[in-house]
Chains A and B, each alone.
Chain A
Amino acid sequence: MSLQPPRDKRASLADAVSLVADGATVALGGGLSARLPMALVRELLRQGRRGLHLVGSAHSIDVDLLVAAGAVRRLEESYVGFEQDLGLAPAYRRAAEEGTIEVAESCCATILAQLRAAEMGLPFLPVRGVRGSDIIRLHPEYAEITCPFTGETLVAVPALRPDVALLHAPAGDRYGNLHLEQPYVLDERFASASAMVVATVDELVSTEDVTAAGVTIPAHLVAAVTEVPYGAHPSSCYPRYAYDRAHLREYVSAAQSGPDDLEKYLATYVGGSEQDYRLAVGASRLAALATWSTSTPAWQEIFS
C-alpha cells in the first residue's frame, strides 16, 4: 500500500465510517478517559457494524459501548474498565463471562512491539517478559525463540497491522494533518502500522494553524477527516475540554442495571445524529467541560 496522496480528505461522518468493514481489525485511538474516538464509535453503532476485532492498550467506554451493542467478536486490549473510580466495564465483563466475545487480553508493551513490527515491515519482534504469565496462554500465535547472539530465550510476537485506526484530534486540516496533545498513547504507532486512518477533529483549521500547533499525525497517513465538535466526549480532548465524569457514571450505571436502561442510553445518545448527541448532553454541560483552564477550583469542580 502506498501513502495517502495529498488531497482534500474531508468526508461526512457516515462516509468516513463506511470505510470500516464488518469484521475489520480496528485500532481505537486515545486511552482511558482521554481522546477516545467516540463520534466514530457512535457512528459504527448507527451503521450496525458487526464482528469487529478491537486492538489497543487501556480503554473504557469506547470498547464497552461497542461490546454492549454487539459489534465486537474479538478483543486484544490490555485493559478495559473505568479505573478505580467507576470500576469494571459492565458490558465487557458480562460478555466475557458469558463467552459471547473472544478475549485475547494483551499487554501494552507487547502490542507496541507488534505495531512496530508492522511499521517496519517485519513479520515479528521479540519481547521481554510474558513468559511465566498466563497471558501467553491466550495467545497461541506467540512463539519462544533463542537469540542468535546472546542465547537468551525471548517471546516472538507477530506483526499487528490493523485494517483501520480510528483517531480523534482537537484540530486538523482538510488534508488530514492532525495536531494532538499528550498523551498521544498509541495513536502515532496505530497511524503508521494500520492500513488506513480515519480521523475526526473538534475543529478543522488551516494548514498554517495546524503546522503552527505542531503536526503529530501527518496527512500522508490519513484517509479521511471529519469535523465533529466534542467528538471525543465523554472523554477529554485537551486543550478544549476535560472528560465528563458524570456522563461516564450515567453510562456505567445504565450498562450495569441491564438491557432496558442500556437501550434507553443508546436511544438517547446514539439513536440520532452527533448534533442530537450534543443536544442530549446539553450545551451548558459541554460548555462547563471547557472551563477547566479558568482556575484550579473550576477544574476540580468538573470532576465532582
Chain B
Amino acid sequence: MSWTIDEWFVVALARTIRPAETVFHGFGSPCAQVAMHVARRTHAPDITLVEGAMYAINPDPPFIPPTSNDASLKRGAAYSMRFEEFFDAAIRGDVDRMFLSGGQIDGYGNTNVTAIGPAGHPKVKLGGGGGGCNLSATIGQLTVWTTRHRSGRTLVAECDFITDMGHRTRLGTRAELGFTGGGPQWLVTELGIFDYPDGQARLVQLFPDVSAADVRAATGFGLRAAGDLRPVPPPSVAELAAVRTVDPLGVRRSEFSAKELTRTFAHHEGQACAC
C-alpha cells in the first residue's frame, strides 16, 4: 500500500473531526472539503456536514469540483441551508468545527488572508476572509491548516494583518474579547501537526520524512515541541479508499506545490510502519 502527501494530509485533517460534530469548511479549501467527507465515510458517520459555499447538509457529491459552489456539491442532500441560516447557526454556537487556513498564521492561530505588507499599500493583496472574522469568534473549535509551511513565509511571528482571530490578538485574549467559541484546536501542515495547550501552537506529530529541525527552519514563531513528539499515524486502507472515492479529480492536490506532491509513502505488510 502506498500513498502521497496530499492523501495523508487530508486524512490528518479528517481525524480532527469528532463524532456527531457539526462541521463546516470555507470556500477554496479542497483539502478540508475532502477531509470532511472522509471523516463521514470512516470514523464519524454521524456528523452534520455543512458543505462549503453550498451550505448543503450531508450531501454525497459524485466528485469534488474545482469550485466551492457547484451544484454537484449538493447532490444527495435533502436540504441546503440559506446563507443566513448557516451564519445564524454558526454565530449562535450551533457549529462545532470549522476549517480555516491563511497566507500567514501566527503562533496563537491568528490568520491573515487579507494582505501581505501594510494594509493601505499591500505588497500582495490576498483574496479576503469570507466569513472568518465573525465565525472564528463563535464556532466551537477551529482546525487551522496550511500546505505551505515549508515556504517559511506562512507560519510567522506576527501576521501583517489579522483577518481571523486565534487565541490572542493585539487587543487581548478570546475571553477578554468576549468570544463564545474555543478558537484553534489543531494546526495541520504538510510537515506536522500542532495543538494549542495554553493557547500557543505546540508541535506534537511529524510526518516521517520531516525532522523537527526542518519544522524549526520553516517556522517564524518560536517552535515548541511536545516531549513525546510522534510520527503522524499512517492512513488506514479505509481512509485512503475514502479520499480516492470522494475526490476522483484530485482537486485536493491543487493546494500543494509540485515538489510536495512527489512525497510518497509506503506501508508493507508485516511491518508496523516502514514509511
Contact = CB atoms under 8 A, between A and B. Distances in A.
Nearest to A92: B125
B200 interface: no
Contacts of B91: 109, 127-129
Nearest to A109: B134
B129 A78 contact: yes
Interface in A207-246: 236, 238-239, 242-243, 245
A78 B134 CA distance: 11
B209 interface: no
Nearest to A186: B83
A181 B54 CA distance: 11
A238 B84 CA distance: 21
A243 B63 CA distance: 15
B34 to A, nearest CB: 12
Contact of B131 (A88, A108, A134): A108
B260 interface: no
A233 to B, nearest CB: 14
B221 interface: no
Nearest to A135: B133
A33 B54 CA distance: 11
A108 B67 contact: no
A109 B71 contact: no
Contact of B164 (A84, A133, A245): A133
A245 B67 contact: yes
B52 to A, nearest CB: 9
A152 B84 CA distance: 23
A105 interface: yes
Interface in B243-265: 248-249, 251, 254-255
Contact of A31 (B30, B69, B125, B172): B69
Given A81-B127, A97-B124, A243-B67, A128 B137 contact: yes
Contacts of A185: 69, 83
Give the interface centre of B80, B115, B130, B169 by most chain A CB atoms within 10 Å.
B130
Nearest to B170: A132
Given A79-B129, A129-B135, A183 B27 contact: no
A240 B138 CA distance: 37
A108 B133 CA distance: 9
A68 interface: no
Contacts of B161: 134
Contacts of B56: 182
B251 to A, nearest CB: 8
Contacts of B74: 182
Contact of B254 (A80, A85, A134): A85
Contact of A99 (B55, B69, B120, B124): B120
A162 to B, nearest CB: 16
Given A80-B127, A110-B133, A245-B67, A133 B53 contact: no
A103 interface: yes
A96 to B, nearest CB: 4
B126 A88 contact: yes
Contact of A78 (B30, B67, B131): B131
B20 interface: no
Contacts of B127: 79-81, 88-89
Contacts of A97: 121-125
B87 A108 contact: yes
Given A107-B129, A107-B132, A296 B63 contact: yes
Contact of B255 (A32, A84, A135): A84
Contacts of B70: 33-34, 236, 242-243
A236 to B, nearest CB: 7
Interface in A70-95: 77-81, 83-85, 88-89, 92-93
Contacts of A303: 65-66, 249
A7 interface: no
Interface of B: 27-30, 53-56, 62-63, 65-72, 74, 80, 82-84, 87, 90-91, 114-115, 119-138, 161-165, 169-172, 177-180, 248-249, 251, 254-255
21 contacts: A31-B53, A34-B53, A79-B127, A83-B28, A84-B28, A93-B125, A97-B124, A109-B134, A129-B165, A130-B137, A132-B169, A133-B163, A138-B119, A182-B74, A183-B54, A184-B82, A188-B82, A236-B70, A238-B71, A243-B67, A245-B67
Given A85-B251, A109-B135, A299-B62, 17 more contacts: A33-B69, A34-B53, A34-B69, A81-B127, A84-B30, A93-B124, A97-B122, A108-B134, A109-B131, A129-B135, A129-B179, A134-B119, A135-B133, A135-B163, A182-B74, A183-B80, A185-B69
